[in-house]
């Protein structure tokens, strides 16, 4: 019986390892665009005047990027910072002026790119096509805070309150019609670090206790069930990416494979726990914990940021990442402990020869 259990455990290790390896590619794609998931800054468009049907403008990445989508048959033009021609977004794609200083300055979030000598706002435009689609995303330095590692003066004076950092304007034109895009950049105080670390440490410890202290594997199975459900919710809450990256449906679909894999591993662990297979339950918990960590770590900044990017309620996004990261770490510890504590004992007399009969008398 012990040999059969050990063989089943080895098979489970191989199968679960394969599932984990197959799920490696998913979490990176789930974190759309590879950008941050949380920030204390937040930017938004407040008005587009006049409103143009078929032209959509929105702020991405908490104010770091500006996106324009033009589905009309008329070109949208965007000037650079010296009012020189910069962008043309229309039916034949996106064209960018190589002689505009904005072309080079906007390549870097903080404007640290080198501007070549030929980038002269007074020079004749040199149009270079950068996209065949009528949509474009760029770092427009009018919409975000430019000093890396330094808070705005109004925030530094009182970081305990929310503040309006700036109210910005980006001029555009739809054909010959001037269009003004207005927006606001705000800052909010982040959650208390002491409270954040205390809650997440407590969550990790509680999950770890299901393998370190529980008398049976069932509590560990319940913790795994929670992790599987949260993995699916986290994938469903994938935020809408820039249109230049993918559609929202495609982004959600790319996030589902690792989440579904995690859910399947959780189901296997729950079943094993209910049947008293502590070793298999522990192995499942180790693999599931690793899968949850891989999914949650790209979004870990939501745990200490004031604002969260998600397709659902921000509070649920925070809870989901907390379960993925703190709960995932706890599952790894609990699984290793359970696999050792619930290991089938060897028969006391295994491997011993029966005693030879002794002559009577």
Query: Mean pLDDT, the chain, as a whole number?
Result: 88
Backbone angles phi, psi at 199, to 5 degrees: -65, -45
Between 215-219, 268-272, 311-315, the lowest mean confidence (pLDDT) is in 311-315
Higher pLDDT, residue 20 or 312: 312
Residue 360 has what pLDDT?
56
345 alpha-carbon distance from chain centroid: 43
Q: How far apart are CA 355 and CA 63, in angstroms?
A: 81
Report the candidate in 65, 88, 67 with the shortest Cα–Cα distance to residue 140. Answer: 65
Tally the C-alpha atoms within 13 A of residue 45's C-alpha that lie toward its C-beta. 18
Residue 348 has what pLDDT?
40
Q: How far apart are CA 145 and CA 137, in angstroms?
A: 17
Q: Is the whole-model pTM more than 0.75?
A: yes
CA distances from 198 to 163, 202, 204 (A): 27, 6, 10
What percent of the chain shows pLDDT beyond 90?
Answer: 76
Q: How confident is the model at residue 157 (pLDDT cuts 50, 70, 90)?
A: very high
Q: Which two tokens stand for residue 178?
A: 């001037």
For residue 358, pLDDT beyond 70: no
pLDDT tens profile 7-30:
555 555 555 555 555 445 444 443
Q: What residues does each domain of the chain span?
A: 2-36+191-341, 41-187
């Amino acid at each position: 019986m012990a040999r059969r259990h050990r063989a089943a455990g080895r098979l489970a290790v191989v199968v679960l390892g394969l599932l984990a390896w197959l799920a490696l590619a998913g979490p990176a794609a789930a974190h759309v665009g590879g950008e941050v998931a949380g920030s204390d800054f937040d930017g938004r468009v407040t008005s587009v005047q006049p409103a143009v049907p078929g032209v959509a403008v929105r702020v991405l990445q908490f104010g770091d990027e500006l996106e324009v989508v033009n589905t009309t048959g008329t070109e949208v033009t965007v000037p650079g910072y010296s009012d020189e021609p910069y962008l043309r977004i229309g039916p034949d794609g996106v064209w960018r002026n190589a002689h505009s200083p904005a072309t080079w300055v906007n390549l870097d979030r903080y404007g640290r790119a080198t501007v070549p000598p030929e980038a002269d706002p007074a020079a004749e435009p040199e149009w270079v096509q950068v996209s065949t689609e009528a949509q474009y995303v760029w770092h427009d330095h009018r919409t975000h805070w430019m000093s890396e590692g330094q808070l705005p003066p109004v925030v530094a004076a009182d970081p305990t309150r929310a503040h309006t950092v700036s109210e910005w304007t980006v001029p555009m034109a739809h054909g010959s019609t001037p269009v003004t895009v207005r927006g606001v950049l705000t800052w909010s105080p982040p959650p208390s670090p002491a409270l954040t670390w205390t809650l997440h440490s407590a969550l990790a410890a509680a999950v770890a206790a299901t393998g370190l202290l529980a008398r049976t594997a069932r509590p560990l199975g319940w913790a795994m069930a929670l992790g599987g459900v949260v993995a699916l919710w986290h994938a469903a809450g994938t935020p809408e990416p820039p249109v230049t990256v993918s559609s929202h449906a495609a982004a959600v679909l790319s996030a589902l494979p690792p989440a579904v894999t995690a859910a399947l591993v959780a189901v296997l662990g729950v079943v094993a726990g209910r049947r008293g297979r502590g070793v298999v339950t522990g192995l499942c918990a180790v693999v599931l914990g690793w899968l949850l960590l891989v999914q949650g770590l790209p979004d870990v900044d939501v745990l200490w940021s004031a604002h969260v990017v998600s397709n659902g309620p921000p509070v649920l996004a925070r809870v989901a990442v907390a379960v993925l990261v703190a709960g995932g770490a706890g599952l790894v510890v609990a699984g290793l402990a359970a696999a050792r504590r619930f290991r089938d004992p060897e028969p006391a007399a295994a491997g011993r020869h029966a005693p030879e009969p002794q002559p009577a008398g």
